[in-house]
Amino acid sequence: FSSRTLWRFGCSARLLKANHSRTAAPNTSLPAVWMLLAQHSGRIPGLPAAAQTANFCTMRETMEENGSPELYLPNPEVRGMTLLNREAFKRTVVVPVLKVKKEIVHALVKALKHTVLQRPGLKRVIEDPEDEGSKLVILDPHQVPEFSLGQAEQEVLKHLNIPPEVSRYNLELTYENFKSEEILRAVLPEGQDVTSGFSRVGHIAHFNLRDHQLPYKHLIGQVIIDKNPGITCVVNKTSIIDSTYRNFEMEVLAGESNLVTKVKENNISYELDFAKVYWNPRLSTEHSRIVELLKPGDVLFDVFAGIGPFAIPAAKKKCVVFANDLNPESYKWLLHNCKLNKVDNKIKAFNLDGRDFLLGPVREELSKALALEKEAQKPAVHIVMNLPASALEFLDVFRHLLVGEPCGAAVLPTVHCYGFSKHENPAKEIQERAEASLGASLDGRCATYLVRNVAPNKEMLCISFQVPADVLYKRPCPAEEKPASKRLCTGKDFTEENVVS
C-alpha cells in the first residue's frame, strides 16, 4: 500500500469497524415462517431482540444486493435526450401479483413487507378488475424470480390461508416512478459516470459537472428539481474558486435565478448570496468540531470568517470574537447574520486583508490578552485560518509578531490552519509547509486532522498548534532603545529585511 492509502485507512478505521458489526450472518435455524411473520410483530420466539435486529437488517441488504435493476430502467429510447420529455420515459413491465381477499390484505403486506413492491409513486395494492371482494398485491420481481415464491413466502401464505398462485400483471411505469439516478443513467451515454450527488444550499442544488455531462446539463437540472422537494434552483460551477474572495462563477441550469438563500447549520440560521460568497455545507462537522474546543470567555480570531460559521456559534457560546473577511460581500453578510442571530454586539467584524488583520487587530488584542498578570485572567486564544488554498502562506506573520518576553505563564495562542494536499503523506506535507512559514519545528507540538476528501488524491486538512514563544516574540537587542511600557510595535518595525527567521 502507498503511504497515502495507509494514512487514509487509519482515518477510516473506526468507520470500518462500525460497518463490520452490521454484517453478522443471519440465523438460519429458525423456521422461515417465523422470520417473515416476525417482521410484523417485531419479535421471534426464543431470539434476543438485538439478534433479531441484526438478522433482518442483513436479510434486507442481501435482497437489495441481489436485485436485477434492468427491470426498472426507463424506456431505452430516452438514451441521448438533452431536452426533458417526461412522456418518453413510460414503460410497461410484467410483475408478479397475488390475489388476496380484502380483509387480509393488510396482514399479508406486513408479513411480506420485504417481498411486496416498493417503488416511489407506485401502489402496492390495486383493485382486482375481476373480483370486487379481492385485491391484487404487487410483488417485487427482484424478490420473486421466475414468478415463483420461496418456501418462506409459501409458509406465510399457508398460515394466512391464501392460495400460493402467482399471476402476471402488466404494470405501466412513468417518469414519476423512476429515481433521479435511474433517469440520468438511462439518458447519458452508456459507461459514462452519472452525477446524482450535489451540495444543497437552501433551495439551491450545486453541481460540479464533468465535461461529458455538460450536453445534458439542463435536463440534469430539471430532473433534480422534479425529484427533490424544496429545490427550486440548480446551478453548475463554471470556474475554479477565486483565491481572493473565495467565490466562483456559476450558471443556472434549471429553475429560478434567485441565488439569495437561507441555510441552517448546527441549529444556527444563515442568509447569503450564493453567487457572491463562499459556503460549503460539507464543512458543517468541522465548524462544530472547532467550536466545541472553545470555552466561554475564550478569545477567537477568525481570519477568513466568510459569513460567520465559526464566529457566530462561538459568540453564542459567550466567547470574545474578532471576525474578518476581505470579500466585501462576505463582510456584508457576516454583519447581517450577526444581527439575524442576535450576536452583533458580541462580534467585532473587519473587512481587511488577512495579513493586515493579523498585523493589526490580532497583534493589538494578543498583546493585551497575553500581558495580563494573573494567570486566572488569561483567556485561551484561538486563531482560525480557514483559507485552505493559501492560509499556510500567512503563517509567517507570526514570526516575531510581538515584542518582549512572555509574561509569566502566558497562554500562547492556538492556531487552526487549513490546507489542501495532494501528497502521498498529506499530514507530513502540511506540517512541513507550516514549519517552513513559521521558521520553526512543530514536531511533537501539533496535531493534524483530516477534514474531507476534496477530489481524487486531494485532501483538506487542519493543522492545530500553539505558536512557539521563540517564534511569536522578538526580544529587543540590548543596544536598542527600550520601548515605552506595553507599546505595540507597528508594521514599520517589521519589514522583510529585519524579521529574523
> And the C-alpha cell for 472?
511569536
- 424 and 371 in a common domain: yes
Residues 6+ apart with CB under 8 A from 366: 381, 401, 402, 413
> And the C-alpha cell for 254?
434549471
Nearest Cα to Cα of residue 227 among 256, 190, 172, 184: 184
Order the strands of the 204-207 sheet from edge to edge.
199-201, 204-207, 233-237, 250-255
Instruction: Check residue 11 and give its pLDDT.
Output: 53
Instruction: Check residue 138 and give its pLDDT.
Output: 92
Burial of residue 64 (number of CB atoms within 10 Å: 0-12, 13-18, 19+): exposed
- 184 and 139 in a common domain: no
> And the C-alpha cell for 8?
487514509
Tell me if 448 is assigned to some domain: yes
pLDDT band at 374; cut points 50, 70, 90 = low
Q: Which of 81-90, 163-172, 388-397, 487-496 has the least mean pLDDT? A: 487-496
Query: Domain residues for 401?
Result: 280-474
CA atoms within 13 Å, Cβ hemisphere of 304? 23
- 148 and 196 in a common domain: no
**What length is written for the chain?**
501
- 464 and 327 in a common domain: yes
Q: Of 142, 173, 204, which marks where a domain is finished?
A: 173
- 239 and 288 in a common domain: no
For position 439, which CATH number holds?
3.40.50.150
Instruction: Check residue 197 and give its pLDDT.
Output: 75
Tell me if 210 is assigned to some domain: yes
pLDDT at residue 393 tops 70: yes
CB 306 within 8 A of CB 278: yes
Count of the separate structural domains present in the chain: 3
Nearest Cα to Cα of residue 220 among 246, 251, 261: 251
Tell me if 74 is assigned to some domain: no
- 386 and 252 in a common domain: no
Residue pointed to by grid coordinates 470567555: 297
pLDDT at residue 43 tops 80: no
CB 359 within 8 A of CB 279: no
Tell me if 220 is assigned to some domain: yes
Instruction: Check residue 5 and give its pLDDT.
Output: 56
For position 223, which CATH number holds?
3.30.300.110
Rounded to a whole number, what is the distance in angstroms from the first to the last CA of the chain?
A: 38
pLDDT at residue 317 tops 50: yes
Residues 6+ apart with CB under 8 A from 63: 114, 142, 143
Tell me if 493 is assigned to some domain: no
- 305 and 404 in a common domain: yes
Q: Of 209, 225, 258, which marks where a domain is finished?
A: 258
CA separation for the pair 37, 26 (Å, rounded)? 16
CA separation for the pair 343, 272 (Å, rounded)? 17
Nearest Cα to Cα of residue 299 among 202, 425, 384: 384
- 434 and 308 in a common domain: yes
DSSP string, 445-482: SEEEEEEEEEETTEEEEEEEEEPPHHHHEEPPPTTSPP
Nearest Cα to Cα of residue 246 among 385, 427, 357: 385
CB 197 within 8 A of CB 127: no
- 452 and 368 in a common domain: yes
- 212 and 100 in a common domain: no
CB 410 within 8 A of CB 469: yes
Side chain identity at residue 262, one-letter code: K
Identify which has the larger pLDDT, 92 or 244.
92
pLDDT at residue 260 tops 90: yes
- 323 and 443 in a common domain: yes
Nearest Cα to Cα of residue 448 among 5, 1, 10, 2: 10
Q: Of 173, 200, 219, which marks where a domain is finished?
A: 173
Tell me if 26 is assigned to some domain: no
Instruction: Check residue 143 and give its pLDDT.
Output: 86
Q: How far is residue 394 from each of residues 437, 446, 472, 475, measured CA to CA in Å?
A: 7, 17, 14, 22
**What number is the average pLDDT over the span 14-29?**
36
pLDDT digits (tens, 9 = 90+) for 190-218: 888 887 578 999 999 999 898 889 999 99
pLDDT at residue 455 tops 90: no
- 286 and 162 in a common domain: no
Tell me if 233 is assigned to some domain: yes
pLDDT at residue 58 tops 90: no
Percent of all residues in the chain with a pLDDT value above 70, rounded to a whole number: 76
Please tell me whether the overall predicted TM-score, pTM, comes out greater than 0.85 for this model. Answer: no
For position 103, which CATH number holds?
3.30.70
Mean pLDDT taken over the chain: 81
Tell me if 192 is assigned to some domain: yes
